[in-house]
Structure 1
Amino acid sequence: TIDVETQKPPKGKWTTPPFDPRFPNQNQTRNCYQNFLDYHRCIKNMNRRGKSTEPCEYYFRVYHSLCPISWVQRWNEQMRQGTFPGKI
């Protein structure tokens, strides 16, 4: 399981996600979802290799900046239940 509190950067360190040319439109739903997937893929790969998950924090900050909290909570619950539709 992922402890959200330990992943948060120190107070005042949150920044707006930079422009991503893959998602040029105002609607950032896909950007939110892709960064959520990228974060969990990164964590999975780093843990499997026995390396630090620090590089994954970028994706964490981006999806927490872009995604509604209710979506993240639902996706995390689906992951716990094994019903998450995305490929991680």
Structure 2
Amino acid sequence: MSANLKTTPIDKRFPTTNQANHCWNRYNEWVMCMKKTEGDEDACKPMRQLAISICPDEWTAKWDEERDEGRFAGVKWSG
């Protein structure tokens, strides 16, 4: 694990202790970045880090797989 690993900052849109919506938003923000930059992983790495810092590993793995298969319910980008 990187010594520079940081978690996502507090987001006032998600004031409750259940962070599922915050996780979903962070993941989709990363997908939107990838879409905008035509897949530039380096440019979107900070956004990916924010998503994986708050989301359970199982969720991001599932969503990555769903995106690869074209059945992700969030932002559409096939890469």
Instruction: Sort the TM-score into its range (normalised by shorter chain).
Output: 0.7 to 0.9
Identity %: 28
Alignment of 1:1-88 (within 5 A): 11-47=2-38, 53-88=41-76
Tell me which stretches of 4 or more aligned residues in structure 1 moved more than 6 Å: none
Query: TM-score, structure 1 length as denominator?
Result: 0.75
* AA aligned opposite 1:39: W
Counterpart CA distance in 2 for 1:87 and 1:55 is: 18
Give the unaligned 5+ runs of structure 2: none
Larger Rg: 1
* AA aligned opposite 2:5: W
| Paired residues, number | 76
Offset of 1:82 from its aligned partner?
Answer: 0.6
Cα-Cα RMSD: 1.9
Counterpart CA distance in 2 for 1:18 and 1:83 is: 29
Give the unaligned 5+ runs of structure 1: 1-9
